[in-house]
Amino acid sequence: MAKLKEEKLVANNKKAYHDYFIEESHEVGLVLHGTEVKSLRMGKCSIKEAFIRLENGELFVYGMHISPYEKGNIFNKDPLRVKKLLMHKYEIRKLAGKVAQNGYTLVPLRVYFKDGRAKLEIGLAKGKKLYDKRESIAKRDQEREAQKEFKASRQFKND
């Protein structure tokens, strides 16, 4: 019998999809302390302003805000502390080669729990220009209008 992979979404970074073209994504583990995990389980996390750096062959996430756990008192850590990411060395080397190319960066996309472990999905991204962002917004608006018209025409036929 196959084991079901249960995922519980904690935080999503919609801003990353607006500001970047996401070329590929990877799942990485997070090194956290006990009260940070409890706070994550309660959904108190923000990755809007977060970014990822590669230092000495290791990945670190900066600016990821995990609110202090209410009942954690002295065990609480700094909400904005730098957190280490867990990934295989060969995957990190591959990413380092791609990030070294001009215009590429690593951004956090979402935080979730998978089989009881905190995971972070990171994306290899290339920055969008202002006209690309406008184009994306226009395309999304067109799709929304088309959906609205489709629903209206279906409702009209049913009446």
pLDDT at position 2 is 54
43 and 74 fall within a common domain:
yes
Find the range with the poorest average confidence among 5-9, 10-14, 49-53, 115-119: 5-9
Count of other CB atoms within 10 angstroms of residue 34: 12
> In the structure encoding, which two tokens stand for residue 136, read together?
């994306």
122 and 135 fall within a common domain:
no
Question: What's the domain count of the chain?
Answer: 2
**Residue 109 belongs to some domain of the structure:** yes
> In the structure encoding, which two tokens stand for residue 41, read together?
């389980």
- Mean residue pLDDT across the chain: 81
**Residue 40 belongs to some domain of the structure:** yes
74 and 143 fall within a common domain:
no
71 and 149 fall within a common domain:
no
137 and 104 fall within a common domain:
no
Q: Which domain holds residue 43?
A: 7-128
23 and 49 fall within a common domain:
yes
139 and 106 fall within a common domain:
no
92 and 147 fall within a common domain:
no
Model pTM score:
0.72
Do residues 114 and 7 lie in contact, with contact meaning Cβ atoms separated by under 8 Å? yes
pLDDT at position 114 is 87
pLDDT at position 157 is 63
3-state secondary structure the chain: CCCCCCEEEEEECHHHHHHEEEEEEEEEEECCCHHHHHHHHCCCEECCCCEEEEECCEEEEECCEECCCCCCHHHCCCCCCCEEEECCHHHHHHHHHHHCCCCEEEEEEEEEEECCEEEEEEEEEEECCHHHHHHHHHHHHHHHHHHHHHHHHHHHHHC
Do residues 47 and 108 lie in contact, with contact meaning Cβ atoms separated by under 8 Å? yes
**Residue 2 belongs to some domain of the structure:** no
**pLDDT tens, position by position, 53-83:** 888 888 898 888 888 777 767 667 777 788 8
Count of other CB atoms within 10 angstroms of residue 141: 10
More confident residue, 25 or 150: 25
**pLDDT tens, position by position, 83-106:** 888 889 998 888 888 888 777 888
pLDDT at position 155 is 67
